[in-house]
Amino acid sequence: MRQYLDLLQDILDHGQRKEDRTGTGTYSVFARQFRHDLADGFPLLTTKKLHFKSIANELIWFLSGDTNTAWLKENGVSIWDEWATESGDLGPIYGAQWTAWPTRDGGSINQIDYVVNCLRTNPDSRRILFHGWNVEYLPDESMSPQDNVRAGRMALPPCHLLYQFYVAAGRLSAQLLIRSSDSFLGLPYNTASLALLTTMLAQQCDLEPGEIIITTGDSHIYSNHLEQVRTQLQRAPRALPKLELLRHPDSIYDYRFEDFAIHGYQPHPHIAAPVAV
C-alpha cells in the first residue's frame, strides 16, 4: 500500500488549507488516483490496524438496502452512530440508492441486480456501474444530519459515489470515484470495501478478481489528524494479507461476515483519531 502512503505524504507536502462543513479544517489536494492488483494481496492497511469486521458488515448492510443502524450495532459496528437519529435512521443513504433507486412511477431500480446481470450476460458493456448521487435526496448543508433525515433526505451525501466495473481476460476490475476522501480514516476503509465487493462479485459471476482503482476528488487530511498521519508515515508497510471466501452464497445479498477469512494480517497497532462530524 505504498501508493496510499505516498498520497498522505503528498497531502502533507502540497495540501492547501481549506475550511469544511464540520468546522475542523483540512489540508487538501485535488484529483488523485492509485491502483492495486488483488492478485498481490488483499489491501487491508498494515501501517495501522483496521477493523475488518466493520468494513465487511458495513458492506453487507449496504447491499441489504438497510439504512438504520440497528443491524450494524447488533453486529459490532458503530461507525454510523454519530449521524443517525435517536431511532437509528439515516435517511435514503447508500443502500437505499444502490438497491431501490426511486422511479417516477413510484417503483424502484435495483442497481446491484443490474450490475450482476451485466457481468453475467454482457461483460463487455461500458455501462456496468452503479452510483448513489441521487440529487433529489441530498441533504441541506445548513441543517444537521438528523434534521435532514426527519425531512426525508440523506443524513450525509455519498462520499464513495460511483462504482464502475470492467471485465477482461476473465478478470473483474473495479474503479471507485470518491468525491470527498477523508484520507486518514475513511480511505483505507473504502479501499478494503471496494476490494471485498469486487471479490464477491467475481465469485458470483465466475470471474477472477482483477485490479481496483481509487480516484479521489477532494483528498484531505483533517487538521486534527496531522500527528496521527506523521506517526503512520514513520512505519514500514508489511506484507498484505490474503482474503479467502469460505462459502459460495446463492446471491450477492447472501454473504455473512463468517464467509470471509483474512490470513496473514500482521499490522502495526491501531492509531486513534477523532471523527469529524
Contact 12, 199 (CB under 8 A): no
* Whole-number Å distance between alpha carbons of 242 and 226: 30
* Whole-number Å distance between alpha carbons of 94 and 100: 10
* Whole-number Å distance between alpha carbons of 155 and 152: 9
Instruction: Tell me the residue length of the chain.
Output: 277
Residue of 38, 56, 93, 159 with catalytic role: 159
The DSSP output letter for 19 is -
Contact 223, 27 (CB under 8 A): yes
Binding residues: 21, 51, 126-127, 179-182, 190, 220-222, 276
Exposed, middle or buried by CB within 10 Å (0-12, 13-18, 19+), for 162? middle
Give the list of residues 6+ apart from residue 126 with CB closer than 8 angstroms, or none. none
Pairing label, strands 171-182, 208-222? parallel
* Whole-number Å distance between alpha carbons of 36 and 29: 21
For this structure, is 159 an active site residue? yes
Contact 35, 212 (CB under 8 A): yes
Binding residues for dUMP: 21, 126-127, 179-182, 190, 220-222
Q: What residue type is assigned to position 102 of the chain?
A: P
Q: Which residues are catalytic?
A: 159
